[in-house]
Amino acid sequence: MGRSVVTIERDVDRCESGVHECLRDIYEHPPPALRGAFHVFPWAQVEPKDGTFDWRAVDANLTALADAGVQAVPSIWIHKGASVSGFVPTPKWLCKASPCVAYSHTRGKGPVLHAPNYLDPAFQQKFEELIG
């Protein structure tokens, strides 16, 4: 039987301890077949203001997973067209630093959404500062 990998796509700062409930189950009682977990966290969570970083919740989750013997693959959630549970992964300040691109999933019939312009040098600079 192969070992499994789970994906964690949650707002990791939604509880007092900074550790999300879905992660708590994984590191307190990891299934025997669990080999690793993708830990997806929103950019807006770790850099709510341009140049102001707060990695505490992500660090707490990654440490808890490591302590449980679960290999974590951290991944930054840069953009999703709409909010997820009221949380928008793209920082609000980003479209001021790098003009976002308007688009629609339904060719003009649905809501107009805005995505980062990944080719813009200003976006690339801000992303490099995030991961640097």
- At residue 80, the pLDDT reads 66
Residue 105 burial (CB count, 10 A): 10
Residue 26 has pLDDT above 80, yes or no: no
Minimum mean pLDDT among 6-10, 35-39, 86-90, 105-109: which range? Answer: 6-10
Task: Please report which confidence band the pLDDT of residue 123 belongs to, taking 50, 70 and 90 as the band edges.
Answer: very high
For 39-82, the pLDDT digits (tens) are 888 899 899 999 999 999 888 888 888 887 888 888 888 886 65
d(CA 95, CA 4): 37
CA angle 130, 132, 97 (to 5 degrees): 40
6 contacts 31 by C-beta, under 8 angstroms:
no
Helix pair 56-67, 21-28: axis angle to 10 deg:
20
